[in-house]
Amino acid sequence: MHCTEQAGPPAIRKVRKAGATILVIEDERFVRDVTCEILRHAGYRVLQAGSAGAGRRLFLRHGKRIRLLLCDAVLPDWSGVQLVRSLRSRSAGLKVIVASGYPRGTVEESLDRKGGNEFLAKPYGAASLVSKVKMALQEPRSTEAGTT
């Protein structure tokens, strides 16, 4: 019996026109590259950074376009959760997914779930990543951030 490799994950349907812009901040290059590829394949525009500092600079430059921040909870130069709080103070309607390989309760306790923050456990697959992103983006945006 031979196994054939599929062209892409079956649960992800490519969108023809570009969707929301997502900023991915992940220090592990392989995880960042695969995550960004999955999101692009799902039709999203993706900005990426390998550190909190680089992510902050991208956010300051492109913040008005960014609808979702996908951030690792632990970054080499700063806590991902603290970075989220800092960026959220500049954009109250920003949707956030914090990803971590640490036990769920460790990171979730420090997230403000009412503020639009979600948790994504590592390792994650393509289907769970795209599902979590869609769910986060479907929630109503804050009236402070305005709508487009």
Contact 41, 14 (CB under 8 A): yes
Helix (H) or strand (E) holding 22: strand 21-25
- pLDDT tens series, the chain, 148 aa: 333 334 444 455 554 556 999 999 999 999 999 999 999 999 999 999 999 999 999 999 999 999 999 999 999 999 998 999 899 889 878 999 999 998 766 665 556 555 668 899 999 999 999 999 999 998 564 444 443 3
- Which residues are within 8 A (CB) of 33 and not within 5 positions of it... i.e. 6 or more apart? none
What is the topology classification, in CATH, of domain 21-138? Rossmann fold (3.40.50)
φ, ψ of residue 82 in degrees (nearest 5): -65, -40
Contact 37, 59 (CB under 8 A): no
Q: What is the CA radius of gyration of the chain?
A: 15
* CA-wise closest residue to 108 among 52, 49, 62, 117: 117
Helix axes 126-138, 29-41, angle to 10 degrees: 60
